[in-house]
Amino acid sequence: MLVIVLQSGCTDNPEIVHPTFDNDTIIQQSTPLQSPFMNATEGVYDIVGSSVNWGSKAVLHWTNGVLCIYFENSGTYAVLKGGIVQNTFAFSGFWRNPLTINTGKVQCIIQDTSSIMSIIRSGNISDLANIPLTLNILSTAGENRQTLTLRYIRPSKFRNENYFIIAHRGGGRNSDLLPFSENSINLIRFSEYIGANAVEIDIKLTSDGIPILYHDTDFNSRLIGNGTLIGPVESFSFTQIRTFAKLHDGSDIPTLREALQFIIDSTTLRFVWLDIKSVNAMRAIIPLQKEFTQKAKEKNKSLFIATGLASEEFIQDFMTLPQFSTIPSIVETSVDDMRKVNARVFAPRWTLGTQNELIQTVKQEGRFALVWTLDDQKFIRKFLAEGQFNGILTNFPSIVAYEYYVQ
């Protein structure tokens, strides 16, 4: 049984401040856990006692040693770091409802380590339901103390299903008030913690031909924390951008090269959707796509990188490339266009519905199908239950993660 005590940290300020843990003794003093513990405790849990309305079930998952929990209601998630501290399993982190500004600190203390490890060694993982696991909240003045209890039910699909949960703009939009800026390196790392196993990133071209991660046409206050640069992104050199433009979280606008290298070196992400925002960027992007696909192979890392073709304009430009039909691509327009460029992926918008007959045809041709951009929980549940897609592009990967892995 997993018992969670929650510390409410709601705020009226839409520029929410997520809890930080620079001086957290649990995180500083803990030693990493071994894989058997993490593999065994991953799964679906019943919520059997709670003073918060987070639903009836939760999914527990480990990513790079980080404890991640996805709850039924609104994709609420908890992200905790830690390990073993003086023969106790101890974790500290924060929870967040991604549809609101609600957030707070959460802490997990699991003291019955010998019983848990005995169950893991025996292989009778279902017996974990009989072990009380307690999560406590770090006290903060003015916050309300709350509790939540979980009981292990069964394993989830984390290790035996090939389904893409694709985080939009590297993990979500700035309007979603995430801890990091959209299309940033930090957010790409964070996307794994909130349920993604794939990312979509937006690419613009600088005046001197460097592909960078940026969504909008212009430098603006929506994306940039300082107002030094004004005007179209493509009017400025990379040196000017790196010198005078910072994202809202204070980080640099990353190059595509930096982002792909980070994904290979520091994440378990398995798919990257390159959403091109500059028509003239194609010839600068494709060589990087090929280079980092090869680098992933050399590291024995399973990583699929595909160039997005969102309109007829991009398709026509793509078809001018040598051997374009061999370049992994994603077509959003039509099945006819998909076949014309021999795209590996067909990706229609979600408002067209599940289109099961068409999607089945696409898959029979040896391709796969994704749907974008799906954020509403009831429609996510419908597409998972009734659809044939191989993945969902979303701004709320924790919602998709819960709905997919709880099946």
Q: Which pair of structure tokens corresponds to residue 57?
A: 């079930």
State the DSSP code for 246.
B
In which region does residue 75 sit, left (phi positive, over 0), alpha (psi from -120 to 50) or beta (all else)?
Answer: left
| Beta-carbon count within 10 A of 320 CB | 9
Same domain assignment for residues 250 and 103: no
Amino acid (1-letter code) at residue 275:
D
Give the type of residue at 57.
K
Q: Break the chain down into helix, strand, coil percent, rounded to 5.
A: 30, 30, 40
Q: Determine, yes or no, domain membership for 100.
A: yes
CA angle in degrees (0–180, nearest 5) for 57-60-62: 170
CATH of the domain at 363: 3.20.20.190
pLDDT of the chain along its 407 residues, tens only? 555 555 555 444 466 777 777 778 888 888 888 888 888 889 999 988 777 788 999 999 999 899 999 999 999 999 999 988 888 888 889 999 999 988 888 888 777 788 888 888 888 888 888 776 555 544 343 356 777 888 899 988 765 568 999 999 999 999 999 999 999 999 999 999 999 999 999 999 999 999 999 999 999 999 999 878 999 999 999 999 999 999 999 999 999 999 999 999 999 999 999 999 998 899 999 999 999 999 999 999 999 999 999 999 999 999 999 999 999 999 999 999 999 999 999 999 999 999 999 999 999 999 999 999 999 999 999 999 999 999 999 999 999 999 999 98
Based on the domain organization, do 125 and 254 belong to the same domain?
A: no
Domain for residue 159, yes or no?
no
Task: Give the domain range for residue 147.
Answer: 2-154
Domains contained in the chain, number: 2
Convert 36-51 to b/e letters by CB count within 10 Å (16 or more is b).
Answer: ebbebbbbbbbbeebe
Q: Are residues 250 and 336 in the same domain?
A: yes
303: β partners: none
311 C-beta neighbours (distance < 10 Å), count: 13
Q: Does residue 177 share a domain with residue 96?
A: no
Using CA atoms, how far apart are residues 165 and 68, in angstroms rounded to an integer?
Answer: 15
Residues 6+ apart with CB under 8 A from 258: 185
pTM of the model: 0.93
- Are 180 and 318 contained in the same domain? yes
187 part of a folded domain? yes
The verdict on 74 and 174 lying in the same domain is: no
Separation of alpha carbons 47 and 90, rounded Å: 21
Helix (H) or strand (E) holding 145: strand 145-154
